[in-house]
Amino acid sequence: MVSRRTLLTSTLGITGGLLLPTAGADAAPADWSRAVVDSTIARKPDPTTLGGWGYTQGLFLLGAYRVYQRVKEPSYLAYIKGWVDNFVDADGHMSRTFDNLDAMQSGNLLLILHQETGDPRYRTAADQIRARITTYPRTADGGMWHATGKTNELWGDGVFMAQPFLLRYGIAYGDESFAYEEVTRNLSVYFRHLKAANGLIYHAYDADGDAPWKPDPTTGTSAHFWARAIGWTAMTHVEVLELLPAKHPRRAELIGNIGHLAKGFTRYQDPATGRWFQVVDKAGDPGNWTETSASSMYTLMLHAALEHGWISGGGYSAAARRGYQGVLKKVSVGSDGLTNITDISEGTNVGDLAYYLGRKRNTNDLHGLGAFLLMNERLAH
């Protein structure tokens, strides 16, 4: 029998990727993942300066952990621990209310540190998030609101923030029944409300129809297909399916969701760059631009889905390869010897077309660093 600890380790780890071409720059490092982690730590050697308890920090550090699992560099784990310890006191308490899904994502690091160190403080802190999930508000059909202040709103961003944590927690600590049901129901509910006929999903849905972003009066959805929201959902399906029992009754539905997105990703992939646009279906808009974090996420999903046999044919392998090559073109080494990843959208709410197109195109934003690491560990190693 496989232990819960082994299950957690395998899920947090790497699933053996298809080796694809490295970047073409003469000065390209042999290991882009290590270079990105090393460069980020060099810029912020004190982990407490990485930022507050937020999902972007949690995403980057989750990526750093997956690099750590491969290379066993002790400083990487120490950096993760140094950041988390700034928020967990000696008794394992965290001074947070967890009233939005974003605040739950970094809980994955608590599970990692409890596994790696055995320190019960991290389990106690993870218990605090798990307890909040029980009481957290939901739509009538069971979808966890994006935030307690966003009544009955479901955002595609949100599933990555809570569901993989809950599933890993359940498997690690004997809470599987609740975790399997809750996680798969949320993915089902979210996808059903957000799904569009073109192979994509809308950014958000409001069951009440009164959100300030003016939901469609018939469908309750937002108007546009924002790239990273779709990417969060795509990555979540991969994370969950890799843990879900083979005979789970919702497994086939989730694999179907992957197939839906794979069709959309190949349909809207930019033939010139291999990446995907900030507003995915509006490549011809003169203000649109290819966005690196979402392109990393889409590439990750396509590769993982092919590897697991959830999709086949349809040009998916070529799309994954073009996506990877396209992302690598946004990664470089500066004159200071540190890596830079460009064209990463800043944090983004639900908005109109001009809002999405006008988002800042950041360099080394943690959204993009974390997404790149998660992708690169699968495809390059």
Q: How far apart are CA 146 and CA 242, in angstroms?
A: 24
**Annotated catalytic residue within 157, 281, 343, 365:** 157
Q: Answer yes or no: are the C-beta atoms of 378 and 300 closer than 8 Å.
A: yes
Tell me, yes or no, if 336 is annotated catalytic.
Answer: no
Which residues belong to the active site?
A: 157
